[in-house]
Structure 1
Amino acid sequence: MKLFRTLLAATAVATTSLLGTSSAQAAAPGADFTGIAALSNCSASLVRYAESVATDKALVLTNGHCYEGGFLQPGQVLVNKTSTRSITLLNPDSSRAGTVRAAKILFGTMTKTDMIVYEVNESYASIKSRLNVSPLTLAKQGPADGAGMAVVSGYWKRIYTCSVQATIPQLREGDWTWQNSIKYQQPGCETIGGTSGSPVVSTSTGEVIGINNTGNEDGEQCTVNNPCEVDADGNVTVEQGAAYGQQTWWLYTCLTANRTIDLNKSGCELPKPARRH
């Protein structure tokens, strides 16, 4: 999982200038830091649903494994949990725009997917007025193989550009299992620690088509920081250097008419909290 780790810092700083960040003239989807955020240990993004309105409380998306309380256990799901996390929003040129503060975690898990959705304590309109930051829109479906994409890291202020190589039926890492994982075509998206939680942005639509979360660092099989691929027949494959994101469009399958998450909604694809016996 692509949390920031001190040993990676020197490498990242040395290579950031090679990839470059955005310029004032960058306007192509995924080519600047519009809607991008940074956490103390991860990257994140200010996001909206296609149906969101300006007066809605704003949402911030990151990985479940970036949770301020530590890694979530397999099967653990957070719903409407109070949070006061500080989140730094960036300008399109990657400079610091200002901070917002979370009010609660609407949904969070490391099961099936790896994401947390924070609700912050102010609206999209307020953030736009105060900081001039606009959100990214969540796509209503996952990416197709070959789709152009960018992993935009607010932690490192760095953009990785490549395409979707494949959708992996199952990805296993340590005790965690993710489904329909997004494998990146290399070279171009050699993500590092601190890029966890970065949105995977479509370079054609500018929508968030997934969330960056992990990569196989050492060539090990199914261990932490060394995910393995499992195909539909149960065959296990390991590729050192491979990097992956997870699906975010499942949020729409659980969305109500007033844009709240209802895990009991018919057709909801997100995992539910385990029942206590």
Structure 2
Amino acid sequence: MRKPFAAALFALVIAGAGAAPAVAAPQAARTAQAPRATITASRTTEASRTATLRAVDFAGTVSLSNCSGSVIRFPKSADTDPALVLTNGHCLETGFPSPGEVIVDQSSSRSFGLLNSSGSRVATLRASKVAYSTMTDTDITIYQLTRTYAQIRSSYGISALTVADTHPVAGTAIKVVSGYWKRIYSCNVDGFVYRLKEGDWTWKDSVRYTSACNTIGGTSGSPVIDNATGKVVAVNNTGNEDGERCTVDNPCEVDANGTVTVRQGINYAEETYQIPACFGPGNKLDLGASGCVLPRP
């Protein structure tokens, strides 16, 4: 997680680096581009789609008031389903969920700036509710929108990003795409963290980036995209800023034996492969579904 907007803005303006809102991960951003799969329109489900590789762009990402995010779908989502937006739990407009807290079906009218391939804002999308939000075991918020995938694509020519339902692999080339900053970071999955602890929160099996993904405040909630498949494999959420041990803005790694490792300047994301199993027909949340391991209220 990262420093508040006002403090980050002041610090970066003084440094000549620009503004950094809310929470995410440190240092100057890099812009990079690489292939991603974009999915052509289908009549029913993702399974019937065909993928064509193209350079990474911003289509399908969104900007929030304090974070980044993306319009997502699952492998079995239908075009007629209400669209979903993925961001971090700590980006929730009502404040950070407490440790152990899980929020479901909470009313929301939050707005999102939908970006096209060049990063221009082409529309404002609006939530109907918070479908799911937590900072326990993972760091995610999933909003349900008032429009379907088909309606968004018909109006703006923009398709949702698909969330992979398999565990990411170490060494994979990835892109972190920030809708807030309109910046793309390029690096690899360095490995996985048994437990990532930051302040009062603990996350399981987190993704650790190689150092090239030096994400900054405002990139929280950015989709992490596998270059080879074009699918979302994680959601960007934090980094160790000052070298402190397990404090807010300074997460530490804890292995299965309890050994703590601090990696200053290294940034992290939370895996998303476990999310699709928790959503059924109509993109309806079902925490009791077979294979669903997300924390329950």
TM > 0.5: yes
Aligned with residue 106 of structure 1, among 115, 131, 149: 131
Distance in 2 (CA, whole Å) between partners of 1:30 and 1:60 is: 22
What count of residue pairs does the alignment treat as equivalent? 268
CA spacing shift, 1:29–1:143, aligned 2, 3 Å: farther
Q: Paired residue for 2:204?
A: 179
1:11 aligns with one of 17, 27, 48: 17
Q: TM-score, normalised by structure 1?
A: 0.91
Structure 2: distance between partners of 1:182 and 1:242: 11
Partner of 2:158: 133
Q: Could you tell me which of 234, 240, 247 is aligned with 1:210?
A: 234
Quote how far apart the aligned CAs of 1:261 are: 1.8
- 1:15 to partner: Cα distance: 5.3
Secondary structure of 2:103's partner? strand
Retained in 1: the 8 A contact 2:2–2:248?
A: no
Q: Which residue of 1 aligns with 2:219?
A: 195
Residues 105-254 of structure 1 aligned to structure 2 (within 5 Å): 105-186=130-211, 188-254=212-278
Check 1:258–1:2 CA distance in 2 against 1; reply closer, same or farther (3 A cut).
Answer: same
How much has 1:30 moved relative to structure 2? 6.8
Question: C-alpha root-mean-square deviation of aligned residues, in Å?
Answer: 2.1
Q: State how 1:43-62 maps to structure 2 within 5 Å.
A: 43-62=68-87
Determine the C-alpha separation between the residues in 2 that align with 1:180 and 1:34. Answer: 28
Query: What residue in structure 2 maps to residue 76 of structure 1?
Result: 101
The alignment partner of 1:209 has SS state of strand
Gaps of 5+ in 2: 20-26, 39-51
Q: Distance in 2 between matches of 1:47 and 1:30?
A: 19
Report whether the alignment pairs 1:33 with 2:48: no
Distance 1:112 1:29 in 2: 34
SS of aligned partner of 1:19: coil
Q: C-alpha separation between the residues in 2 aligned to 1:156 and 1:194?
A: 7
Distance in 1 (CA, whole Å) between partners of 2:53 and 2:179 is: 17
Aligned to 2:235, the other structure's residue is in SS state strand
Query: For residue 141 of structure 2, what is the amino acid of its counterpart?
Result: I
Shift of 1:21: 7.1
Cα distance in 1 for residues equivalent to 2:198 and 2:55: 28
Deviation at 1:129, TM superposition (A): 1.6
**1:19 shift after superposition:** 2.4
Structure 1 residues 30, 241: closer, same or farther in 2, change over 3 A? Answer: farther
Distance 2:219 2:167 in 1: 20
Contact 2:82 2:282 in 1 (8 A): no
SS in 2 for 1:11: coil
Secondary structure of the corresponding residue to residue 103 of structure 1:
strand
- Residue 12 of structure 1 deviates from its aligned partner by 4.4
Q: CA deviation at 1:2?
A: 4.0
TM-score by length of 2: 0.85
Question: Are the structure 2 counterparts of residues 243 and 28 from structure 1 closer, same or farther at C-alpha, using a change threshold of 3 Å?
Answer: farther
Say whether the 8 Å CA contact 1:173–1:226 is kept in structure 2. yes
